[in-house]
Chain A
Amino acid sequence: MSDTTDTGGPVLAADGTPLKRSLARALRRQKLRALMLIAPLLLFILISFILPVADMLYRSVKNGIVADTLPRTVVAIADWDAESGDLPSEAVYAAMAADLKEAAAAKTHTKVGTRLNYENPGIASLFRKTGRKAKKFDIEGVASWKDELIDINKDWGDIDNWRTIQTYSPRVTQGYFLNAVDMRVGTDGAELRPEAERIYMNLLGRTLWMSLAITVCCIILAYPVAWILANLPMRKANILMILVLLPFWTSLLVRTSAWKILLQQQGVINDILVWIGLVDDSARLVIINNQFGTIVAMTHILLPFMILPMYSVMQTIPPSYLRAAKSLGATDWTAFWRVYFPQTVPGIGAGSILVFILAIGYYITPALVGGTKGTFISNQIAFHISSSLNWGLASALGAILLAVVLVLYWAYDKIVGIDNVKLG
């Protein structure tokens, strides 16, 4: 007993090194081996997920193009006071002429024009038109570039254009994010856009409440289905399961188009209602190309994502609990509400998170059946990616959507607790 204690020095391993260090080394080796095992996955996630998201986030503030294309102008215009009401000095015009000459030779003048056009409509053609002549500019040979440029295009004499160039000369901009929340850089700081141009906050709100409505509809429809599936004998449950999964395996476009055929005014549902006399032929129901259409179609499309987690949770609840509750005198309702339902909450939670997060990112279905009032913010993101090419704005909208999802996830964790979510 006494020979192992009080030797004074650290505990040594068999080879004489301190035990602590030797243990740490062994653990480190183990950790390294574990890391090597998951390295392919880690690398995959890094390359295919984390880097693109980081790039997207960076794009939403990136604005190097102005400083890169018009380097002299950016320096020269830095100390011009836009509020003075005077046009920039002769030096700024000369710098712009030199920059334009170089940019036109490299064919980048139109790119910077497109960038600035997002903030100030009309500036793109100013750059395009001036660029056509800029290749032949004789920088030294013109006495006043101010007069010369204004002579080429009178818009060079417009203070607003110069203000835009000055405002967007830094390499990082908040412009895209401001635009994404319906604001803009005004003469004194950020201000709301005129009401006729506010889109995104309205759309974001609509996206959230409609996704919530879709989630609630899914819960209501999925709960009894999952309950039946969990309580039927195996063979019958399997057949029913196929009915749940079959639409799940069908193309999204096919299912959405099917809803079009069902819901349109000359469609199956309206035809039946008219035929049985519930609805007059001249007053057919408008149940597509609006929010109703989007909610119906998306509830149907996302339903399996709610049924499956609910089903797997319900399967694990022993039926004897309900019998025990009833034998102790509970009514059917009490037994369900006090005993059965609380045990299914983890399944509802998992399904709700899945459905809600999938729903706020949907854009094909809302685009096809949503009309004008049933579209989501993702439709605008898709528009800016593929059509308007304003990728900065698309990134800013995406970043906001990502932030909203993370905040909701955090709130969910606080209120319900993420440990209470079970997929099976």
Chain B
Amino acid sequence: MKLAKMFMATSALTLAGNVATAEDMANELTLVSWGGAYQASQVKAYVEPYLKMHPEVKVTWDESSAEAVAKLRAMNEAGNVTWDLVDAVASDSMRLCDEGLAEELNHDEDLAAAPDGTSASDDFGDLLVSDCFVPQIVYSTTFGYRKDLVGETKPDSVCAIFDLDTWPGKRALQKRPIDNVEWALYCDGVAKDEIYDVLGEDGGMERALAKLDTIKDQVVWWTAGAETPQLLADGEVVFGSTFNGRLFSAIAEQNQPIEMLWDMQSFDLDGWVVPAGLPADRKARVMDFLKFATDTQRLADQAAYISYGPARKSSAPLVGKHAELGIDMAPHMPTDPANSGNVHVYDYEWWADNRDDLNAKFEAWLAK
């Protein structure tokens, strides 16, 4: 009796299964992000409005984006993926895609079009660097310097980092080859569009390391984005590279005597990745949220809380003022024309291939 009923109920469900309705969506959503001010901006811009529309949904956060690839791989091997949507940088999203850990998306079908009808793939344009990736923001790794410690001449080029005569003192650099070797080659006289060709040649990496050797004993190497603002605030370093949003909050929110050095800022992307192999009901919920959270207005809203540029072209005109400070956000965006006169666009494909090799050389050089 009971069994027959259950059987009937199941077949009825299977019949209805092809039409996704609100009843078929899971009501739990586990989002993975970076914590801190960035996650707060996502809560304000995407999650709170979404929850207003769908009060039945319960959102849980996991601040694990820094180890997203490793953890997702471990979950996948254990056959129990507990995450629904993961915030990751572009290069990580490529690796997740390569490892088969992320769902491949059809950007035009899965994402909202721009208000004027431009398809999502055109609206995001070149920023769709991987089939598994939905970019949210453009951020940059760039330099800040202490206004009071640089002396008379204000630095206006990234090569000030390598000029110890004019600007003595310590520099904070990220403890990885990416960005640093590109800046080194650029300041060693390599044209911007030839950097990766030179780096790929025999002796290219050695040339970059030789340039870095000239400042090696003046470098403090950082691993967490919060270190550079702290080092600058303490006066431990004169220059320091970090994510532009961190510098913005040190300058605008904490009034530190720090100034931005936008020259040769290194553009990078951060966005959403859907883990592969989610059950249908959870996936339906994720896709529904993803479509909402990456539409033109939501991406523009996020810029009111943090100084990262929205990834959609159609969002740029909608960027307004900081939600609490009331200052215009546009001049603090890495994508603002005044800031992006000379930018470095880092080559994901090239680094995906050469990362392990160059990292070994970099580590060996560091240990010397």
A contact set with B: CB distance below 8 Å = 107-108, 110-111, 113-114, 117-118, 121-125, 128, 195-199, 202-203, 206, 264-267, 289, 367, 371-373, 380, 385-390
Contacts and interface: CB of A to CB of B under 8 A. Distances in A.
A386 B367 contact: no
Contacts of A367: 223
B69 A111 contact: no
Given A107-B100, A121-B357, A266 B364 contact: no
Interface string B347-368: 0010011111101110111110
Contacts of A198: 364
A289 B220 contact: yes
B192 interface: no
A125 B234 contact: no
A120 B366 CA distance: 23
B110 interface: no
Contacts of B223: 367
A118 B356 contact: yes
B99 interface: yes
Contact of B353 (A122, A203, A371): A122
A13 B352 CA distance: 77
Given A380-B363, A388-B355, 16 more contacts: A117-B353, A122-B354, A123-B353, A196-B206, A199-B367, A202-B367, A206-B367, A367-B223, A371-B220, A371-B221, A386-B67, A386-B70, A387-B70, A388-B359, A389-B73, A390-B356
A264 B236 contact: yes
B204 interface: no
B147 interface: no
B356 A388 contact: yes
A225 B345 CA distance: 57
B235 interface: yes
Contacts of A390: 356
B353 A121 contact: yes
B235 A266 contact: yes
Interface of B: 66-67, 69-70, 73, 95, 97-100, 104, 170, 175, 206, 220-221, 223, 234-236, 349, 352-357, 359-361, 363-367
13 contacts: A107-B104, A111-B99, A114-B95, A114-B98, A114-B99, A121-B357, A197-B360, A289-B220, A373-B367, A386-B67, A387-B69, A389-B69, A390-B356
B225 to A, nearest CB: 14
Nearest to B209: A196
Contact of B100 (A110, A118, A195, A199): A110
Across chains A and B, which 4 residue pairs bring their CB atoms closest together, nearest first?
A110-B98, A121-B357, A372-B366, A386-B70
Nearest to B67: A386
Contact of B365 (A122, A125, A196): A196
A367 B70 CA distance: 19
Nearest to B349: A125
B221 A372 contact: yes
Contacts of A108: 100
Nearest to A132: B131
A195 B357 CA distance: 13
A265 B236 contact: yes
Contacts of A267: 234
Nearest to B68: A386
Contacts of A289: 220-221
Given A199-B364, A385-B70, A389-B69, A113 B356 contact: no
Nearest to A257: B230
Contacts of A203: 367
A125 B351 CA distance: 10
Contacts of A123: 353
Contact of A196 (B98, B355, B364): B364
Contact of B97 (A110, A266, A389): A110
B356 A121 contact: yes
B100 A264 contact: no
Contacts of A199: 360, 363-364, 367
Given A110-B98, A111-B99, A266-B234, A389 B363 contact: no
B357 A372 contact: no
A206 B356 CA distance: 22
A208 to B, nearest CB: 15
A268 B73 CA distance: 43
Given A289-B220, A371-B221, A125 B364 contact: no
